[in-house]
Structure 1
């Protein structure tokens, strides 16, 4: 903890790159752990990877939207200490960007302003015909295939599905932020999902910090590795630093 606090103290341009593990403490399940969505799928149901794919949206939209509403939308989730700690670091001018693989919007709810959403956001939904934007409540209140109230086109979540490319503008902004920072904190991600996981390879700064319950393939590159829960670890360090 002292080492983490010292790194945060000397950091002038900190970037956080996070995955599903930062939101599990807010009650949102991850994907690949023993309690994640993939592990809890039943043998007689379609694989979650299929239900989260562009193919499923195109060919079986009813199943896609049923899974999306029941498994990916968490309207009662609230930011935890990790989200709040990052917002505080940004507020005092130490953190320049949050790069997230999550679609839950909890970083923004905590007060973070510069959030680069690699996989989009479930807080936003858009009509594929006229582009009209709807919020999460619209999706939660809909049934079957949601239809635009203006043109009756299908309204889909503004998220990147399997079989779809990442937004290159967001990727370019993430690479630019990582190239410029002097501290990169990677938290709550196994670093197994590409191309997002490859962003770590662009880092050229002084201190690389990995905070994750389980080891990652990049542990050997890090200045500091903490196999701990992200919320208490980052929250305690920022509380000690900023008071």
Structure 2
């Protein structure tokens, strides 16, 4: 691990991590805007349209076909970054993980205080009766997963045209406001309103870990342009 980052972590007791798609690419999950990413796909219908609320309602079979093929990776496993963050939480230094990812890998690694801004593939609900379902139902019940009551089961992920969950957003804001070290990794900080959360940080140092430039690079106290899994490889907080 970078010596400066290790020193910042050692001297902090209220760390918050804010991450994006780049945190999970080393677990085999493609990002959205990078080379080979979801939004670079060539298709008759733009991916941004397919993952919109209106398209989900009007073309559920096409939505679920795309969703299962390109947004759900049930065999993915946590990488070094996920494991290091979970270790920091167990050590009492990391207070929250705020993620734009929907894969659930932070929880699989052992993190408990996780705020999922864009929801999770592991939570799904019937749009008619509200009953909850796991990911297995979405994968098994094709082409459109239906509840026993006949209602369509919708993944609890934030689609285009849908707002973020206000309770999750407010909890993330409070965590950032209380932080004494904010580590941002694997995100271009170009997706709003999530990227706007950084303006609530009034604590100590800001660390940015990302392969490509972000709008906040000049504000960072420490800027690392490496894969986040490589940055945390071999790290242990215990």
Residue in 2 that maps onto 1:20: 21
Please tell me whether residue 54 in structure 1 is matched to residue 53 in structure 2: yes
Correspondence for 1:228 among 226, 229, 238: 226
Please tell me whether residue 108 in structure 1 is matched to residue 122 in structure 2: no
Gaps of 5+ in 1: none
The C-alpha deviation readout for 1:87-138, integer Å capped at 9, x for no partner, is 0000000000000000000000000001000000001111011111111111
Which whole-Å CA distance do the structure 2 matches of 1:124 and 1:72 have between them? 14
Cα deviation for residue 158 of structure 1 reads 0.5
Residue in 1 that maps onto 2:3: 2
- Structure 1 runs (4+) deviating above 6 angstroms are none
Cα deviation for residue 33 of structure 1 reads 0.1
Which whole-Å CA distance do the structure 2 matches of 1:156 and 1:125 have between them? 6
Gaps of 5+ in 2: none
Which whole-Å CA distance do the structure 2 matches of 1:194 and 1:131 have between them? 28
Which whole-Å CA distance do the structure 2 matches of 1:88 and 1:114 have between them? 12
SS at match of 1:87: helix
The C-alpha deviation readout for 1:153-182, integer Å capped at 9, x for no partner, is 000100110000000111100000000000
SS at match of 1:38: helix
Residue in 1 that maps onto 2:209: 211
Structure 1 residues 78-89: aligned runs within 5 Å:
78-89=77-88
Cα deviation for residue 9 of structure 1 reads 0.5
Report the aligned-residue RMSD: 0.9
Which whole-Å CA distance do the structure 2 matches of 1:235 and 1:180 have between them? 27
Residue in 2 that maps onto 1:187: 185
Cα deviation for residue 232 of structure 1 reads 1.5
Residue in 2 that maps onto 1:133: 132
Name the TM-score, length of structure 1 as normaliser: 0.96
Which whole-Å CA distance do the structure 2 matches of 1:131 and 1:81 have between them? 36
Residue in 1 that maps onto 2:69: 70
The C-alpha deviation readout for 1:47-104, integer Å capped at 9, x for no partner, is 0001110011111111111111111110100000000000000000000000000000
Name the TM-score, length of structure 2 as normaliser: 0.98
Give the number of equivalent residue pairs.
Answer: 237
